[in-house]
Amino acid sequence: MTVSFHDRFVELFDAHFQRLYRYLDRLSGEPELAADLAQEAFVRLYARGSLPDAPEAWLITVAMNLFRNVRSMRARRRRLLTVPRAEAVLADPPPSPAQTAVATDARERVRAALDHLPARERQMLLLRAEGYSYRDIAAALELNEASVGTLLARAKRAFREGCEDELHAL
Amino acid sequence: MHFDAHLDDEQIQRLLHAELAPPAAASARGHLATCAGCHARVTDAERDEARVLDLLGHLDHPPPLVRVETVVAAARAHPARPPAWGRWAAGILLALGAAGLAYAAPGSPLGGLVRRLVTWTDGTPRRTVSSPRGARIAGTEDVTGGIAVAPGDRFTIAFSADQPGGVAAVSLTDGVDVVVRALGGTATFGSDVDRLSIGTDGSSARFQIEIPRRAPWVDIRVAGRSVLSKRGARVLAEGERDADGRYLVPLSRPAP
């Protein structure tokens, strides 16, 4: 039985939208922008009418190109959809002011450590954290796949040490 | 297979992430069973991995609620190409309007320029520019197709086949999109992330190509052969330049 493009797209969307969003959210620090870019990447994939050989790497590349365009032009081409935040989160009890302050501080310090990494190491770290394969990471970042593990080890080490420096600065 | 040597960073990371082929993974585990040093390094790497994932979790925001049906509807409502063409057409109308206002202004120097353009496009004493092979680049009155694409960091415009006598007039603009127009013939266009493919088999079309000056890296290829490359502000191109500074790039191989 032949699976239609639409069905394959839906399957891909269900499996990868959230992690593409989370990657872009962590990379940009802007959840609304991340949501827009992730959606736009999937919109373009559907408009393409067929799946590329490596759809996950294709989506990352498209999203990254969009991200760079947004950053360089400081304007969004098209704001697709206004999306609400997940309702499940609203069901949690609201954090206390002290909890909020601690969480904000930790986020800022992790963000600072991440921003200190070279762009390639930052992207690689975040992609791997979302479970992307070495093959997809290599394709998306134009790396030699055989050295992804070595570069990842270096990126993790630098990030962890950067975080420790930030936390010690408290 | 068995790892006699100690595991390096690449092997340890691949072991953690299930990226080693099964025989290599079995061999690595065999080595770990007999090497306390490597075993400790793998344990450290696992702890590092967990710590990094935990730290990255601090950056997360609640995920958006997006339904695939909404994305599909958006794709159908906003197909990839028409919006770019819409912007292009709107830009032309806006430019024509502005030019009209400027022309009407007393003492405007644009009169001469407009008369030149009218002479160029009215069909009688049409100005043509010859390429090295004599192909003609005319005005835009006979546009038969085209496409506008944001070029990103690297962009390749690939003509599928040699087109004997064909020529593309390439100009640098202050726009943001690469714009390709086919004139007086047919061509097919297909765009991907960093590539625009133009099918020209059997075509007699001429082409106008606009490349944003700010595009850092653009190549034009014909049947796999580079005919123009732009790296930053530097442009290397086959062919000559016309009076307007456009690069007249031949779309066929030079004569031997």
Q: What's the mean pLDDT in B171-190?
A: 83
- Find out whether B61 and A29 touch, Cβ atoms under 8 Å: no
Averaged pLDDT score across all residues of chain B: 78
pLDDT at B252: 84
pLDDT tier at B79, thresholds 50, 70, 90: low
CB within 8 Å: B68 and A9 = yes
Helix (H, G, I), strand (E, B) or coil at A161: helix
pLDDT at A97: 66
Q: CA A91 to CA B109: how far, in whole Å? A: 68
CB within 8 Å: A125 and B52 = yes
Q: Pick left, alpha or beta for residue B223 (phi over 0 → left; psi -120 to 50 → alpha; otherwise beta).
A: left
Which of B56, B78, B81, B154 should be substituted to probe chain A, the one whose Cβ sees the most A Cβ atoms within 10 Å?
Answer: B56
Q: Nearest CA to B216 among B236, B233, B198?
A: B233
pLDDT at A127: 96
The answer to whether residue A15 scores a pLDDT higher than 50 is yes
CB within 8 Å: B71 and A10 = no
The answer to whether residue A87 scores a pLDDT higher than 60 is no
Angle (CA) A161 A162 A166, round 5°: 115
State whether residue A83 sits within 8 Å of chain B by CB.
Answer: yes
Q: CA A87 to CA B71: how far, in whole Å? A: 20
Q: What is the dihedral of CA B45, B47, B50, B53, to 10 degrees?
A: -60
What ipTM describes this predicted complex?
Answer: 0.81
CA A141 vs CA A62, A121, A137, B152, B250: distances in Å: 12, 10, 6, 14, 34
Q: CA B209 to CA B192: how far, in whole Å? A: 17
Q: How far is A104 from chain B (nearest CA, A)?
A: 8
Q: What's the mean pLDDT in B186-192?
A: 76
- Find out whether A121 and A158 touch, Cβ atoms under 8 Å: yes
CB within 8 Å: A157 and B75 = no
Residues of B in Cβ contact (< 8 Å) with A85:
61-65
Nearest to B56 among A77, A129, A149 (CB): A129
- Find out whether B216 and B206 touch, Cβ atoms under 8 Å: no
The answer to whether residue B256 scores a pLDDT higher than 80 is no
**pTM value?**
0.54
Q: Which of A74-88, A92-106, A131-145, B194-208 has the lowest mean pLDDT?
A: A74-88
CB within 8 Å: A65 and B51 = no
State whether residue A12 sits within 8 Å of chain B by CB.
Answer: no
% chain B with pLDDT above 70: 72
What is the longest distance spanned by two Cα atoms in chain B? 92
pLDDT tier at A101, thresholds 50, 70, 90: low
